[in-house]
Amino acid sequence: MLLPYILITFIGIGSISLIVYVIVDLISLKQKEKSLQKEQAHIDQNDSEVITKAQAEANDIIKKAVQKAEETLRESKIFRDDLVEELNKTIREVAENTLNRFKQESSIFDRQYQQLFSSIQEEYTRKTKLTIDTMQKTATDELEDFKQILRNETISSQNIISTKIQEEFNLVLKDIQTYRTQKIQEINASAKDVTKKITEDLLGKALSLSEHEQLITQALESAKKEGMFNG
Amino acid sequence: MFTDIFASLYTKQELLELLRQLAEIEHEFYNTTSDITATIDRTLDYNKKPLITSYFIKNNLDIRQKKTFDTFFTEFTKAARLFPTISLSLSFMPATRTIEKISSTLDQLIPHHLLDIHVDTSILGGAIIAYKGHYKDYSLKKKVEEYFAKQN
């Protein structure tokens, strides 16, 4: 009988112990949280200070860098202006020297060129004159040859043309004669046709009845003489 | 046999006309109401009728009898086919008197004949004669052509 009470007691004691333990643990945890919150606040404060300090240092560095850059820039501008001035000066000197030298060389070249040109011109004139003379002589010779050939050819052509004209003339004469004969034959034939037609018309109309009868009788007698009615 | 009848015919055209008239009379024999004597009087030419009737009388035949008339018609047609016919091409159609003259001339050459006359004005005159397969051109046109042919 005691066992259940003992068990209940143990269980009760255990439960109470457990509850106490939990509560103690909760309290301990709460204290740790507060401690952590304090540390966090402390750290946050330190961070803020560090950042502020870093910003101040950064600003200082930037400011110095800008000053330095501006100073460098000013120095470089001055240097560049000097450099440009120097360069321009050098270029002018080189150009003047070059120009002077070119003028000198050009003058020499010009003289040489003039000499060369004159000699070439003289040579060319001489050769041209020679060529023209040769051409003129050749042309004259060829012209003379041509004249002679032309004279010969003209005489020959005249003979050929004369013969050809005679041949053509003979052909034309022959054609005309043929045409004339043909036309005369045609005219004669036409005349005969016309005469024949007129004769026929006149005969047909001019014959009297007795003449027609006579012709028919003659025809029958001729037929008899020729033996047409025999047998 | 039909000498008198053929003697009255000068041309083939006259013969054909007579045959047509005889055929018309023969046809009338089939008409029972027809008066055959009146038909003969009306149909035959005036110069042929006496010759036809004379033939029947001479031979003691009754022209009003169909059988007798048929026999006559048949025999006459046969004889006509055998009758000599001379073909003449003339430049004009001759009048009866001219035909009689021509026929009279021919009678001396061929006693019994018929003329088969054709008109061809292009022959101008004369005649082209054809007889029993023979052909002769005695036209004026041919003479003119021969004359002009000789001139060439």
Mean per-residue pLDDT, A1-15: 74
Sequence-ordered list of residues with C-beta below 8 angstroms from that of B108, at least 6 positions apart, any chain: none
Sheet of strand B134-139: strand arrangement: B114-119, B85-90, B126-131, B134-139
The whole-model pTM stands at 0.49
B119 touches chain A (CB under 8 A): no
A30-42 pLDDT, tens per residue? 888 888 888 888 8
What tens-digit pLDDT sequence spans chain B (152 residues)? 788 898 888 999 999 999 999 999 999 888 878 788 899 999 999 988 999 999 999 999 988 888 999 999 999 999 998 888 999 999 989 998 889 888 888 888 787 889 999 999 889 889 999 998 889 999 988 988 888 888 76
* HEC secondary structure over B13-76: HHHHHHHHHHHHHHHHCCCCCCCHHHHHHHHCCCCCHHHHHHHHHHCCCCCCCHHHHHHHHHHH
Sequence-ordered list of residues with C-beta below 8 angstroms from that of B73, at least 6 positions apart, any chain: B22, B23, B26
8-state DSSP, B11: B
Task: Determine whether the interchain pair B136/A226 forms a contact, defined as Cβ–Cβ distance below 8 Å.
Answer: yes
Q: Give the integer Cα–Cα distance in Å for A177 and A135.
A: 58
Assigned token pair, A136? 């003129």
pLDDT of residue A148: 87
pLDDT of residue A101: 77
Among all residues of chain A, which has the CA nearest to that of B133? A228
| Mean pLDDT for all residues in chain A | 84
Q: Which amino acid is at B55?
A: Y
Of the ranges A7-16, A49-58, B57-66, which is most confident? B57-66
Burial class (CB in 10 A: 0-12, 13-18, 19+), A8: exposed
pLDDT of residue B23: 93
Task: Determine whether the interchain pair B148/A211 forms a contact, defined as Cβ–Cβ distance below 8 Å.
Answer: no
Size of interface A-B (CB pairs under 8 A): 78
Q: Give the integer Cα–Cα distance in Å for B110 and B134.
A: 15
Task: Determine whether the interchain pair B91/A204 forms a contact, defined as Cβ–Cβ distance below 8 Å.
Answer: yes
Q: Are B129 and B87 in contact (CB under 8 A)?
A: yes
pLDDT of residue A135: 86
- CA torsion, ordered A49, A50, A53, A55, to nearest 10 deg: -110
A140-171 pLDDT, tens per residue? 888 888 888 888 888 888 888 888 888 998 99
| 3 state SS of B116 | strand
Among all residues of chain A, which has the CA nearest to that of B147? A196
Q: Which residue has the higher pLDDT, A206 or B89?
A: B89
DSSP A87-153: HHHHHHHHHHHHHHHHHHHHHHHHHHHHHHHHHHHHHHHHHHHHHHHHHHHHHHHHHHHHHHHHHHH
Q: What percent of chain A has pLDDT over 90?
A: 3
Q: For residue B141, list chain A residues with Cβ-Cβ distance below 8 A.
A: 200
The ipTM, to two decimals, is 0.82
Distances (CA, A) of A137 to A107, A132, A133, A134, A143: 44, 8, 6, 5, 10
Q: For residue B109, list chain A residues with Cβ-Cβ distance below 8 A.
A: 220, 224, 229
